[in-house]
Structure 1
């Protein structure tokens, strides 16, 4: 099996929540990829697990020749790798390993510990194997982790070349308009919340996420920026171009839902609801009642919102740093499980799709969501 097929299999597992802890990430993702990249994972002197550094241990030491570490891999639970660079760098500096990799199975961070600057500035590349193009994932993993490239020194040279590559700044600048357009099109929850909070501070009333999303997608941001420019407030500032943002209708959303048909149709049976959030609540209650393990699998998915969870055991995890939203915008869907409710209809549709993937259902076939216009 080629590395592309291995990546595709891992992507499916991540989306289905099959890697709930570090051990499953190590065995089901890291070792699987290393094997696909030519490493003899059965040879513990080449792929050395729990490599000892005095009283400390690093998860894997890649050795070439056998017994001589040339790269360290530190493994974390999916979504829990933030802030682990310091420990990894201490390991690498201890014996002068030139390449350090921090991964939670989904995100792969490649570092040159001997580079200059803080930890982030010494990162050569960050790869999300779920979000990035399959060919790009395969190419980057081969470039930095292929056994042949590590053994020959080509991987270290490639990392050093990439580290020095000044085109990174140009690439980031070129991607900014696209990123802004995607944030608007995807109805980024944090952006919607920031705008809604500011509106409330100005007039005392807080718009719902759908109103803010519509405002942004209709290009009001662009018009406001143009007005500022035309009024001469800042004629010398270059305005950031805004990529066109188009609404995305997920396959499971039924068009033209009337108030009488709000809810969802599951395997041909209509479940009426008062509104989109009530439909989502009912759907989660139904899935958890049918399969209690569903909640744990869904909660272990690597990404929910950008900084929050859609389903959590602790209601505070739904809205970190926002106890007001935790109180006002959450629903208990099962003993010990809370669902966040401050979402636009598009985000609700996305949550329905995520739940379908975890439950093994086909969106648009097994489930249709009637969420209204």
Structure 2
């Protein structure tokens, strides 16, 4: 019996944007329920499962772009500039995830340092999503995989997003406003 998968266009766009925030990957149809996002050399980075509406790390992939377990509403037009490279984001969640991945790529170990910083009730990155929040159950609703081995909190205001990115720049030894900036 044939399998048919339906997905709303907004959900598909959200998954593609989250899986490829830098808009540099190519997409290949693997089956009626799976898409593969790949580099120019056909190296799979992640898979999109249309039936489950989720992003899966491709076997052998070094890094996974942000996953989008639920469709997100477009909430704004945000920009991030990292060492002269401009990134566009449609949400604060995407802006934060893109910024954190860019800093970790520039200076490995940044996320480890950032994971040690905790406000009164939460931290922004952790190896285990349960370690992000003091209150139980919040990690199930407000966490997302940032990359292999890392999760981040997604329920942040513009002010919190800005503050976390500034802290991340401090951890990376990057000059805020010069090497790294946002339009927040």
Shorter chain as denominator, the TM-score bin is: 0.5 to 0.7
Report SS of the residue matched to 1:363: coil
1:51-107 Cα offsets, whole Å, 9 max, x none, are xxxxxxxxxxxxxxxxxxxxxxxxxxxxxxxxxxxxxxxxxxxxxxxxxxxxxxxxx
Gaps of 5+ in 1: 1-258
Identify the structure with the greater strand proportion: 2
Give the match's secondary structure for 1:270: strand
Name the counterpart of 2:174: 361
Written as runs of structure 1 = structure 2, the 5 A alignment for 1:104-123 is none
Q: CA deviation at 1:352?
A: 0.8
Q: Is the 8 A contact 2:76 2:91 kept in 1?
A: no
Give the superposition deviation at 1:260.
Answer: 8.0
- Answer 1 or 2: which has greater helix percent: 1
Deviation, structure 1 residue 275: 1.3
* Alpha-carbon distance in 2 for matches of 1:260, 1:343: 14
- Greater relative contact order (CA < 8 Å, ≥ 6 in sequence): 2
1:260–1:309 CA distance, 2 compared to 1 (3 A): closer
Q: Distance in 2 between matches of 1:294 and 1:330?
A: 19
**Aligned equivalent of 2:132:** 318
> How big is the shift at 1:267?
2.1
Whether 1:346 aligns to 2:156 is no
CA distance in structure 2 between the partners assigned to 1:318 and 1:341 by the alignment: 10
Give the secondary-structure state (helix, strand or coil) at the position aligned to 1:292: coil
Distance in 2, Cα, partners of 1:291 & 1:266:
12
Number of aligned residue pairs: 110
1:332 maps to which residue? 145
Distance 1:311 1:362, change over 3 A: same
Instruction: Quote the Cα distance in structure 1 between the aligned partners of 2:165 and 2:87.
Output: 14
Give distance in 2, aligned partners of 1:337 and 1:269.
23
Q: Counterparts in 2 of 1:62-101, with a 5 A limit?
A: none
Deviations 1:21-74 (A, max 9, x none): xxxxxxxxxxxxxxxxxxxxxxxxxxxxxxxxxxxxxxxxxxxxxxxxxxxxxx
Deviation, 1:280, is: 0.6
Matches within 5 A, 1:216-235: none
Mapped contact 2:77–2:91 kept (Cα < 8 A)? no
TM-score (norm 1): 0.28
Unaligned runs of 5+ in 2: 1-74
